[in-house]
Chain A
């Protein structure tokens, strides 16, 4: 039996028909919609490379059935920048060297966007490290990642004050 679901992906409404309910949100994004910015690392919820936002909350797309998220707003790494202007978290990862090989970076950035929105870590590096522990970096760029999240937290807080 085929199932049809509707997702708003990076602001665009998309109707998708699945012939198999086993398709995860991750595989739907990568294999059917060709949004390959979201990475598949472990496929077991342990590495965080597949992190996306679902209705504004960071989740592991590999442990989410696409059908379970029918109707959701999904944001992937492709949906963060505004034209040529990078999202402040993206810019901070570049400025603070929060990566080496880059494979985990889309997940790191989406997780950081989610973490900052949760407003639990603030400017405490220990809380940021703890809050980012669901994202593994094999190159161990953790020092740069922590600095980037700290800087982006500050930038977004300034932007919020101006708005």
Chain B
């Protein structure tokens, strides 16, 4: 690991002043950043530890029923809170489908949003990678695209965004609150991660020194609590990144879908919300035919791996089917598993 200076920020002002200096990275839970520093893929000269910043390690319910989640709230605390899990069940399921118990205890809300792709070439400094080292090329092009983007990629980069949480957040219309030298600003989470285009190294909307301070869920997001699922296909049913995942949420009134939300993980360089699928579902009956049409709409234009695209369509239809059947009383024993309520063996 490259040597670095360590600064523990005691206030937001101090963090922003230190964070704006060249070569600086913010350190929160460290589960992704320290890993990348060990491989040499990340080489910051200074780390500003933001885990002690006052007030960022808690959430607050807002008067209108929305939820403001401090950036330093740990993934496990967020997922295990009974009120939060009951109000935003797909978010809890997404969180618990990711990583391990130990990692969720360390990883933070803001850090989850800021995590890097798990593309092997990005993590390996010996490989060309436009995202890590601009202009060196993309080692993923031309190979098997199973683990790469089928939507939103470019000739410069086809890496996928690895977060489960962000998929649920995108579907819930979450807002990212950002502090910077100019003050506070906010942006929809669904737009926060940039598509690679010709500059994959840009990664997110954050300017140097800016810092996520909170994620906000609007009150309307609670309207999907009765019909919400997060399903995740992966090579193992636990502690593995998504091959394809989908957050599906419905508001059903008088047997008709009043509003739908659908977002994907594992198939694009950012959490991939599907407005076309959502529009197709609005006013439709919650049945197999509607869900199949929505899945087709969601994957329109996808390219690069036919089997993965077919898998994503089937998963979307299945997640919508599960959502229509109703949110489980509790996050299932195997979060995100397509096997609902089944126990493999004892």
Contacts and interface: CB of A to CB of B under 8 A. Distances in A.
A63 B31 contact: yes
Given A130-B334, A133-B239, A67 B101 contact: no
A20 B80 CA distance: 36
Interface in B118-135: none
B333 A67 contact: no
Contacts of B8: 67, 70
Interface string A55-95: 00111100111011010000000000000000000000000
Chain A's interface: helix, strand, loop or mixed, by majority?
Answer: mixed
B50 to A, nearest CB: 10
Contacts of B334: 126, 130
B28 to A, nearest CB: 9
Interface stretch (A31-39, A97-105, A117-125, A152-160): A117-125
Interface stretch (B102-110, B175-183, B245-253): B102-110
B5 interface: yes
A24 B80 contact: no
Give the contact-size bracket for chain B.
20 to 34
Contacts of B290: none
Given A68-B27, A130-B238, A134-B239, A63 B101 contact: no
A33 B115 CA distance: 32
A22 interface: yes
Contacts of B344: 126
B102 A130 contact: no
A148 B278 CA distance: 47
Nearest to B46: A21
A115 B3 contact: no
Interface string B325-343: 0000000011100000001
Given A45-B31, A65-B30, A3 B6 contact: yes
A22 to B, nearest CB: 5
Given A48-B102, A60-B103, A65 B6 contact: yes
Contacts of A45: 31, 35, 100, 102-103
Contacts of B321: none
Nearest to B342: A126
Contacts of A70: 8
Contacts of A115: 101
Interface in B79-103: 80, 99-103
A1 B5 CA distance: 8
Contact of A111 (B27, B101, B106): B101
Given A126-B343, A131-B101, A133-B100, A44 B335 contact: no
B106 A63 contact: yes
B112 interface: no
Contact of A68 (B38, B51, B99, B102): B51
Contacts of A131: 101
Nearest to A71: B52
Contact of B106 (A3, A59, A130): A59
B47 interface: yes
A106 interface: no
12 contacts: A3-B6, A45-B31, A45-B100, A45-B102, A58-B102, A63-B34, A65-B6, A65-B30, A68-B27, A114-B101, A125-B343, A134-B103
Given A63-B106, A134-B100, A134-B103, 5 more contacts: A60-B103, A63-B30, A63-B35, A64-B30, A133-B101
* 6 nearest CB pairs, A to B: A134-B100, A21-B6, A133-B238, A126-B333, A133-B239, A57-B105
